């Protein structure tokens, strides 16, 4: 699952340093990133929602005299991800770790419980960071790099547990199912009796060609198999010898993908 990030322009970030001519924080190549830091917002419960969350952090950080929001990303309880310094700019979230570390604030404070949506979004950012850098970044809480209470006991425990999500594994791009290897034409001919005939027949039923079978499918090759395969081949707009009812590698591939 690609990570959906609400851009600075969308949430209404101010120019870096409040100065339209500013180039903003220095660029950091992805090769420099080795760590992923989780933060929280400090002592107080966060009750604001939506764009007000990154805007409030930005106002505070600009007030510190920083270039703008100091985290690379901010995640809210609804699971929204807001762009701060993004993937490629130096952060201002943990001294001595602002180049090597990508800093993400989960916008909760005090003893607030992080939502599943927030944790899943934070984890998705972590996975995306690993994908982009080509390495497994070290999972850290702010306090691993600096003497602070941040990210609070609940988030810190979660980080130490390896940042698990309810779904078990992190959301990743769905992998395309690979068709099984074609077992060879000799497995599908009159007199054949094997597990591949069953596999073929079951797949034909799954694809909507079950009407040809009175019994089975499989493991014995029958005329029902031949007619079901032929119907499938004709549905590919194949004719003549290409639609003879005997599966070849291409029939097999299409049937299983
Ligand atoms: Zn922190």
Measuring CA to CA, how many Å separate 233 from each of 57, 186, 194, 240, 245?
61, 18, 22, 10, 7
Ligand 1 mean position to 92 CA, how many Å?
10
Which residue, 66, 67, 140, 68, is CA-closest to 103?
140
> Which of 52, 48, 60, 62 minimizes the C-alpha distance to 16?
62
Given a contact cutoff of 8 angstroms between Cβ atoms, the answer to whether 172 and 249 are in contact is: no
The overall pTM is greater than 0.75: no
Measured in Å, residue 145 CA sits from the centre of ligand 1 at: 9
Residue given tokens 């933060």 in the structure block = 39
Per residue in 153-206, pLDDT (tens digit) is 999 999 999 999 987 544 444 455 677 899 999 999 999 999 999 999 999 999
For residue 2, pLDDT beyond 90: no
Residue of 22, 5, 108 whose CA lies nearest to 65: 22
Q: What is the mean pLDDT of the chain?
A: 93
Environment of ion ligand 1 (residues, CB < 5 A)? 39, 142, 150
Domain boundaries, the chain: 8-160, 185-256
CATH number of 8-160: 3.40.80.10
pLDDT, tens digit, 9 for 90 and up, residues 75-133 = 999 999 999 999 999 999 999 999 999 999 999 999 999 999 999 999 999 999 999 99
- How many angstroms separate the Cα of 19 from the Cα of each of 13, 25, 66, 168, 253? 12, 12, 12, 44, 58
pLDDT at 172: 47
The CATH T-level fold of domain 185-256 is Muramoyl-pentapeptide Carboxypeptidase; domain 1 (1.10.101)
């Amino acid at each position: 699952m690609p990570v959906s990030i609400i851009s600075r322009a969308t949430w209404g970030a101010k120019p870096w340093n409040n100065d339209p001519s500013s180039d903003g924080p220095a660029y950091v190549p992805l090769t420099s990133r080795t760590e992923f830091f989780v933060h929280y917002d400090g002592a107080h419960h966060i009750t604001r929602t939506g764009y007000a969350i990154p805007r409030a952090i930005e106002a505070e950080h600009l007030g510190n005299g920083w270039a703008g929001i100091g985290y690379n990303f901010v995640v809210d309880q609804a699971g929204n991800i807001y762009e701060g310094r993004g993937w490629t700019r130096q952060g201002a979230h943990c001294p001595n770790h602002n180049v090597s570390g990508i800093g993400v604030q989960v916008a909760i404070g005090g003893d607030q419980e992080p939502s599943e949506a927030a944790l899943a979004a934070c984890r998705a950012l972590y996975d995306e960071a690993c994908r982009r850098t080509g390495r497994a970044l070290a999972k850290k809480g702010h306090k691993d790099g600096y003497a602070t209470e941040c990210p609070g006991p609940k988030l810190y425990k979660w980080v130490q547990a390896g940042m698990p999500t309810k779904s078990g594994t992190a959301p990743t791009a769905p992998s395309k199912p690979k068709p099984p290897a074609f077992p060879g034409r000799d497995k599908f001919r009159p007199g054949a009796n094997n597990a591949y005939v069953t596999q073929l027949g079951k797949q034909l039923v799954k694809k909507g060609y079950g009407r040809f079978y009175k019994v089975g499918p499989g493991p014995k090759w029958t005329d029902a198999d031949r007619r079901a395969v032929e119907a499938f081949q004709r549905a590919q707009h194949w004719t003549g010898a290409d639609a003879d009812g005997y599966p070849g590698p291409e029939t097999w591939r299409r049937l299983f993908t």
